């Protein structure tokens, strides 16, 4: 066993001013909300870039932009960093020394939570859904990063995962009995507090689009747990920004997400209407984290043409949905639109798809050896 000589520095990290929660002031248009967070901790690299995205094959009357929230940080990459700025600030304020969260076996949220927790001197416990929970899950993609930062992995079946809130509470009780101070963070960081990350992102987006004179009409993004959708839709509504908000669900169905987003928004102290959010249902495909060949092919083509690498679980499905909507006759949703696609991260999930991606790449003529062709 290799002894970790760095854990003794945890208390020092907690007193480092760069890791202390700072007071938070919401945008003026959000001041009336009843559940305003008091503190926030700087985790994400903000603002993330916003730029035109020249994807070939777009209809002539459509203009495409991209918001690179995959660049919130290298190991924190993705939308979860914005939510964790509020969730982990709250955990530190409450004196937590451990965080507990959950997700799929390649959960981006679980990985971001584990990495951010370790940066802040906190331990992490991850309940991950796996079809074979009695076997070593390996060191692929997000799992490798989870284990590199010392996260405690607890594997559970899909059936057990349906009781994830109960299981996390039971784990918290065991840790409390051991003298620890755990804080539970929900799936995806998607609750009223975490969703302030994307309500606040609306302020950032409005400043950037005004500076770029983008004149956006629509925002499109992947939806997996509802927190990003809640923050964006409420931010747009409260600020009076005349853009339409579209979530491409990558699991479950539109009715589920309308109810989930409504619950989160109500927890933030506001009312929700289904008119606040267009859920682009019908692109779940083979299921959550399962890819169709045509989805992976589009990801490859986009990467080759633009250098933007999408992920197979979230942004790949979301962009596949947008691409199909733009290809349909009539294109009622996006006729004459200026669309912002939010890249919410997930790059590490690609590594679990190697066997499915391999057939998409040609062998070089003449072989791999330099000078052989």
Give catalytic residues, as residue numbers: 107
Give 107: exposed, middle or buried? Use CB within 10 Å, 0-12, 13-18, 19+. buried
DSSP state of 67: E
- Tell whether omega for the bond before 47 is within 30 degrees of 0, i.e. cis: yes
Handedness of CA 318, 309, 225, 52 (dihedral sign): negative
Report, in angstroms and rounded to the nearest whole number, the Rg of the chain calculated over CA atoms: 21
Half-sphere exposure of 173 toward its Cβ, with a 13 Å CA cutoff? 6
Would you tell me how many other CB atoms lie within 10 Å of the CB of residue 33? 18
Sheet containing 63-68, strands listed edge to edge, beginning at the edge strand earlier in sequence: 50-52, 63-68, 338-343, 218-223, 244-249, 278-279
Would you tell me how many other CB atoms lie within 10 Å of the CB of residue 8? 8
Q: Both ends of the chain: CA-CA distance in Å?
A: 49
* Cα Dmax for the chain: 69
């Amino acid at each position: 066993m290799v002894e970790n000589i760095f854990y003794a520095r945890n208390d020092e990290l907690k007193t480092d001013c760069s890791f202390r929660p700072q007071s938070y002031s919401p945008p003026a248009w959000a001041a009336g909300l009843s559940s305003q967070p008091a503190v926030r901790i700087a985790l994400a690299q903000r603002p993330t870039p916003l730029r035109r995205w020249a994807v070939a094959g777009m209809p002539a009357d459509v203009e495409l932009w991209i918001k690179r929230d995959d660049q919130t940080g290298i190991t924190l990459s993705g939308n979860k960093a914005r939510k964790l700025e509020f969730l982990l600030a709250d955990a530190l304020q409450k004196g937590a020394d451990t965080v507990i969260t959950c997700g799929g076996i390649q959960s981006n949220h679980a990985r971001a939570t584990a990495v951010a927790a370790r940066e802040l001197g906190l331990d992490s416990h991850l309940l991950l859904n796996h079809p074979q929970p009695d076997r070593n899950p390996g060191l692929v993609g997000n799992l490798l990063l989870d284990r590199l930062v010392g996260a405690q992995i607890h594997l559970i079946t899909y059936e057990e995962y349906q009781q994830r809130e109960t299981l996390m509470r039971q784990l918290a009780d065991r840790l409390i009995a051991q003298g620890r101070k755990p804080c539970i963070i929900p799936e995806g960081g998607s609750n009223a507090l975490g969703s302030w990350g994307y309500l606040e992102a609306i302020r950032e987006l409005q400043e950037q689009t005004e500076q770029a004179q983008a004149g956006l009409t629509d925002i499109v993004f992947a939806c997996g747990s509802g927190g990003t959708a809640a923050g964006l839709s409420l931010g747009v509504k409260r600020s009076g920004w005349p853009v339409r908000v579209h979530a491409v669900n990558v699991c479950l169905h539109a009715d589920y997400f309308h109810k989930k987003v409504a619950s989160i928004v109500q927890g933030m102290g506001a009312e929700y209407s289904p008119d606040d959010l267009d859920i682009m249902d019908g692109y779940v495909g083979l299921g959550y984290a399962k890819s169709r060949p045509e989805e992976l092919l589009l990801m490859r083509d986009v990467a080759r043409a633009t250098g933007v690498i999408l992920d197979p679980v979230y942004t790949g499905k979301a962009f596949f949905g947008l691409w199909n909507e733009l290809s349909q006759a009539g294109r009622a949703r996006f006729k004459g639109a200026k669309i912002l696609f939010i890249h919410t991260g997930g790059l590490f999930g690609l590594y679990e798809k190697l066997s499915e991606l391999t057939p998409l790449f040609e062998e070089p003529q003449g072989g791999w050896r330099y000078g052989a062709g």
